[in-house]
Structures are given as structure tokens and as C-alpha cells.
Chains A and B, each alone.
Chain A
Amino acid sequence: DAGVTQSPTHLIKTRGQQVTLRCSPKSGHDTVSWYQQALGQGPQFIFQYYEEEERQRGNFPDRFSGHQFPNYSSELNVNALLLGDSALYLCASSLEGGIEAFFGQGTRLTVV
């Protein structure tokens, strides 16, 4: 079982650019959530996808958007990048109605 996989592991972008991060959930999982973890902070919930629709959303601006594909994989898109968007972005997968969320290794985004 490959677990939750995220790509890329690291990337550097310039202010104002757009970025796409990718996540493949654990085998059999149908729900994907995204979190932002700033340096020295706990993860903050961005949004959750189930059945290809955004089901819940945290307190993040519309610059943050996502997508879930029929195979349950997901993308996180961030437009008009700001320096403050620099963080570790974590993807977590779970079963709908399940209790436990499994996290990937994360994507480290640096905005310069």
C-alpha cells in the first residue's frame, strides 16, 4: 500500500505566479483534505473534497481552489501567490464517514 503520495516534494515560485499541487489518496479512500502548515505552526484546514465536490472549506481566500478526479486524486491550486503562502502543504485522505485521516509527506512551497 503506497499510502498518500504528494507531488512535487519541493518547489519555488515567484510572487504573483500560480501553482498546482497534487495528491493521490491511500488505496480505497474517497475523501481528500488539504492543509497548510506555516513554519512553526499547526496545520490549518483549507478544504475537503468528496465525490468530486468541495464539501467543507476553511478560512482561506478564493485564490485557493481545488479539484478531485474520478479516481479520487486531487489537486490544490493557488493563484496570485503571496510571500505568506510559503508553507508545507499537506494532503490527507480518509474514507467518507471514517474516523482516521492519513497524511502524505507534504509539498514544501517557497514563494520568493
Chain B
Amino acid sequence: AQSVTQLGSHVSVSEGALVLLRCNYSSSVPPYLFWYVQYPNQGLQLLLKYTTGATLVKGINGFEAEFKKSETSFHLTKPSAHMSDAAEYFCAVSVSANQAGTALIFGKGTTLSVSS
């Protein structure tokens, strides 16, 4: 069965510092992987997704993630944090390669705090 583990429930960085949010997955088939962001009292917004092909994926707001099959990881990074990046971040895996983007399995989330 597919599963997602996000390491670190809370990450704090200074404005301008590197952001690194960790995600490891378990999947018996080639996975489709996603990062979503959630601001307070709002729904989820897709940051980026990995399906096939290039393992380094670029998303919105300067975020990127690298799919590493050997490490079963899909860590999210951003070179320079901005105050507006403070939010909850969720890593997710699709449970069916034939129906990607539906029936997502989510991690428990990582709260990113950015200080000035």
C-alpha cells in the first residue's frame, strides 16, 4: 500500500534562507507525487507534481522538488524563503498510476514558519 512520511512537523527558517521540507514515500508501482500548500482556513493549492520524465520538477512561487527513486524521496526546496511562504505543506502520492491525480494519499503535513 502507498504511504507518505513527512519528516518534521514544523520547520522554522529566516527570511532569505533555504527552505527544505522532507518527504518519503512508499509505493509498489511507479508513483505520481505532489506537493500542496494550504494557507489558514483555505483549501489546497498545487505547488508542483512529478509524473514521469525529468526528476527535477519546478513549481510555482520558486519551489522545486527532486524525485529520487533510490531514496524513495521527493523533498521540496526553495532557495530563499519569503514571509508569504509561511503555511502548511503536504506531500501526496497517487494510489493508482492509471488514475493519477485522484485518490491521493497525504502526509501529515509540515508547518513552515518564516521569521524576519
Contacts and interface: CB of A to CB of B under 8 A. Distances in A.
Contact of A98 (B4, B44, B101, B105): B101
A57 to B, nearest CB: 9
A105 B99 contact: no
Interface residues of A, number: 28
Given A42-B90, A43-B90, A94-B101, A100 B106 contact: no
Contacts of A41: 108-109
Contacts of A96: 99
Given A90-B44, A99-B51, A106-B43, A45 B104 contact: yes
B83 interface: no
Given A45-B103, A105-B43, 15 more contacts: A33-B102, A33-B103, A40-B108, A41-B108, A42-B108, A45-B104, A45-B105, A92-B44, A97-B99, A99-B32, A100-B46, A101-B101, A102-B46, A103-B36, A105-B42
Interface of B: 4, 32, 36, 41-46, 49, 51, 90, 92, 94-95, 98-109
